[in-house]
Chain A
Amino acid sequence: FHLGVTPSVIRERYNLTAQDVGSGTTNNSQACAQFLEQYFHESDLAEFMRLFGGKFEHQASVARVVGKQGRGRAGIEASLDVEYLMSAGANISTWVYSSPGRHESQEPFLQWLLVLSNETTLPHVHTISYGDDEDSLSSAYIQRVNTEFQKAAARGLTLLFASGDSGAGCWSVSGRHQFRPSFPASSPYVTTVGGTSFQNPFRVTNEVVDYISGGGFSNVFPRPSYQEEAVNKFLSTSLQLPPSSYFNASGRAYPDVAALSDGYWVVSNGVPIPWVSGTSASTPVFGGLLSLINEHRLLSGRPPLGFLNPRLYQQRGEGLFDVTHGCHESCLNEEVQGEGFCSGPGWDPVTGWGTPNFPALLKSLVNP
């Protein structure tokens, strides 16, 4: 019985033991980035770990804050990112990137990309809560940002983006409703994280779709070869496909994976806050578990995971709990009645391959 998601609930659901923490002896590191001009307070992290971190070894302060911090009020998103990245990827050196204090004429997300192009040494895993409607961005911008993700992938960085909190999205194109894909979630060079809920919100049970979980098909990027088989299988077997006019079936499909995104406890400005939800919660959780896998890889002399998708799809979701119940939201009209895509066996555009079963995921990703 529990009253909302805490680190203990996460570690129980994803089969983490008290030993599944960083060793503190490697150059392993992770980072979270959010662009809401929110401040992050170390005191909140310390309080969070005092309340919820008693059962596993952890660090109670971040290794580096990139971006000016001030004395303003902490933001829930900034607090959530750090607290769950450092409790899933426990005892691993963590950087926080936030952008308060930027010049008013600067674009926060673009400034973060410049940091990636300027720092020789960067954390291996980055979890980023940022997304815009694909249709609101120029193709020049989208293509160039996609190249920046390739630069990061070539350097072995793992970039995890939240899939978004509007389900399949919805907009009207020349009078007809269509689903509305999100970028950078739709980039073929990042790993996108969707969201789930417990089937029974007060127990650690199996997971079902969180109706807000972003997902769908890009209108800009064609489907990458690594997901051809998985997506074609979904399109040919799903019993609840929306009308084909709502989405671009040949586009890059996302998300790739998922984790719990509903009902989190967060400490912000010294106050424990319940029922916080969004894929910006599931993303640091999944990122923290990948950092633990990197820890094992580094300890055995292997390189970090890097850009995960080709391997993830080759292994067909090995090591992940498949989520097969539930659909996410979309257009509220007669035709689809608010329902976007629905999850199903194997990969689907709501929860990807599913949520992490840590011991099995570790086994499938630690070698080679």
Chain B
Amino acid sequence: SYSPEPDQRWMTPPGWVPLGRAAPEEELSLTFALRQQNLERLTELVQAVSDPGSPQYGKYLTLEDVTELVQPSPLTLRTVQKWLLAAGARHCHSVTTQDFLTCRLSVREAEWLLSGAEFHHYVGGPAETHAIRSARPYQLPKALRPHVDFVGGLHRFPPLSSLRQRPEPQVAGTFG
């Protein structure tokens, strides 16, 4: 097996408090980022449609054009779907570009599928936001290395507010 995200922070970020292990039959919703194709061509097209000096300037692609360009290969789609079905994943749904797959799995199924993962409940921030995340890094079978970029829903926590209500600015002297 291999780790698709060896450099992803997986410790609990500041502001979040662990509440204990998730129960094995609790349900998770995980997002699988499937490997795309023709990314160099995509970069070229972005340059072409965004440079005012280019004859292609402003001639944007439709979602269908983008799909045709980047959608995962049939082998990737088949391999990932077989892998997920074998683990008991259900209610999987894709997006138009087919390069993301979101599935429902129980904690038990997910921890079997993503070896090393261990799901816990957390709460954080002034709004007491809840999240279920893995307190340990995950690994995938090596056969999936060419087909999966990463799995969403294990390590990255929702953001906590950054806005500040600053005290009224004190301007010395010159104004009443």
**What is A's interface to B at a CB cutoff of 8 Å?**
35-38, 75-77, 80, 99, 103-111, 113-114, 117-120, 129-132, 135-141, 143-144, 147, 150-151, 153-156, 164-165, 189, 200-202, 212, 262-263, 273-278, 280-281, 302-303, 306-311, 314, 368
Q: Is B131's CB within 8 Å of the partner chain A?
A: yes
Q: Could you give, for residues 109-137 of chain B, a 1 whenever the CB lies within 8 Å of some chain A CB and a 0 otherwise?
A: 00000000001010001010111110000
> Can you list 11 A-B pairs, Cβ within 8 angstroms, ordered by A?
A36-B129, A75-B127, A77-B163, A119-B63, A137-B8, A141-B156, A155-B60, A155-B66, A201-B171, A262-B166, A310-B50
How far is B46's CA from A311's CA once the two chains are assembled, in angstroms? 13
Interface pair A306/B50, CB less than 8 Å apart: yes
Which of A144, A164, A280 has the most chain B CB atoms closer than 10 A to its own CB?
A144
From A36, A117, A140, A263, give the contact of B5 (CB < 8 A).
A140
Interface pair A106/B42, CB less than 8 Å apart: no
Shortest beta-carbon distance from A150 to chain B in Å? 5
From B4, B13, B153, give the contact of A136 (CB < 8 A).
B13
User: CB-CB < 8 A to B66: which residues of A?
Assistant: 151, 154-155
User: CB-CB < 8 A to A140: which residues of B?
Assistant: 4-5, 8, 149-150
Q: Is B49's CB within 8 Å of the partner chain A?
A: yes
Q: Is B31's CB within 8 Å of the partner chain A?
A: yes
Interface pair A36/B158, CB less than 8 Å apart: yes
Task: Count contacts on B: residues with CB < 8 A to the other chain.
Answer: 69
User: CB-CB < 8 A to B130: which residues of A?
Assistant: 104
Interface pair A155/B63, CB less than 8 Å apart: yes
Q: Is B17's CB within 8 Å of the partner chain A?
A: no
How far is B166's CA from A262's CA once the two chains are assembled, in angstroms? 8
Q: A36-B159, A368-B57 are in contact. Are A104 and B132 (CB under 8 A)?
A: yes
Interface pair B131/A154, CB less than 8 Å apart: no
Q: Is B25's CB within 8 Å of the partner chain A?
A: no
Interface pair A275/B160, CB less than 8 Å apart: no
Chain A, residue nearest B105 (CB): A105
